[in-house]
Amino acid sequence: MSYHLPCVLMRGGTSRGPFFLADWLPQDPLQRDRTLIAALGSPHELQIDGLGGGHSLTSKVAIVSRSVHAGCDVDYLFAQVSVGEARVDTRPNCGNMLAGVGPFAIEQGLVHAGRQADVTQVRVYNLNTGARIDLQVQTRDGRVRYEGDMRIDGVQGTAAPVLMSFRDAWGAVTGQLFPTGQRIDTIAGLQVTCIDAAQVMVLVPAAALGLRGDESAAELDADTALLARLQALRCQAGLRMGLGGIPDSVLPKPVLVAPGPAPGSIVSRYFTPWRCHRSHAVTGAIGVAAALLLPGTVATDARTPASAGTHRVQVLHPAGRTPVDVQLALVDGHCTLVQAALVRTARKIFEGTLFVAQSAMEPGCPGPWPADDRP
pLDDT at 169: 87
Q: Reduce the DSSP state of residue 82 to 3 states and report it.
A: coil
pLDDT value at residue 368: 47
- DSSP-derived 3-state class of residue 258: strand
Cβ(368)–Cβ(35) below 8 Å? yes
Look at the chain and count its residues: 375
pLDDT band, residue 373 (cuts 50/70/90): very low
Q: What is the pLDDT of residue 1?
A: 60
The answer on pLDDT for 361 being more than 70 is no
Looking at residue 363, its pLDDT comes to 46
Q: For 143-147, which contacts have Cβ atoms below 8 Å and span 24 or more sequence positions?
A: 143/106, 143/107, 143/113, 144/103, 144/106, 144/107, 144/113, 144/348, 146/103, 146/346, 146/347, 146/348
Which of 3.90.1170.40, 3.10.310.10, 2.30.40.10, 3.30.530.20 is the CATH number of 185-340?
A: 3.10.310.10
Please give the pLDDT value at position 333: 81
Residue 364 pLDDT exceeds 60 = no
Give the lowest-confidence range in 151-165, 271-285, 294-308, 355-369: 355-369
| pTM, 2 dp | 0.85
- How far is it, in rounded angstroms, from Cα 16 to Cα 33? 18
Per-residue model confidence as pLDDT tens digits over 45-67: 999 999 999 999 999 999 999 99
Counting beta carbons within 10 angstroms of the beta carbon of residue 157, is it exposed (0 to 12), middle (13 to 18) or buried (19 or more)?
Answer: exposed
Q: Span 343-372, mean pLDDT? A: 73
Tell me how far apart the 2 most distant CA atoms of the chain are, in Å: 66
Residue-level pLDDT at 226: 97
Report the CATH superfamily, name and number, of domain 2-169+346-370.
Diaminopimelate Epimerase; Chain A, domain 1 (3.10.310.10)
How do residues 127-182 score in pLDDT, each as one tens digit?
998 999 999 999 999 999 999 999 999 999 999 999 999 988 899 889 999 999 99
Mean pLDDT to the nearest integer, 336-355: 96
Residue 371: which pLDDT band, with cuts at 50, 70 and 90? very low
Read off the pLDDT band of 357 (50, 70, 90): confident
Asked if 134 and 167 count as a contact pair (C-beta separation under 8 A), the reply is yes
pLDDT, tens digit, 9 for 90 and up, residues 180-222: 999 999 999 999 999 999 999 999 999 999 999 999 999 999 9
For the chain, domain boundaries: 2-169+346-370, 185-340
Q: What confidence category does residue 360 fall into, taking pLDDT thresholds of 50, 70 and 90?
A: low
Cα dihedral sign, 180-283-226-56: positive
Average pLDDT over the chain reads: 92
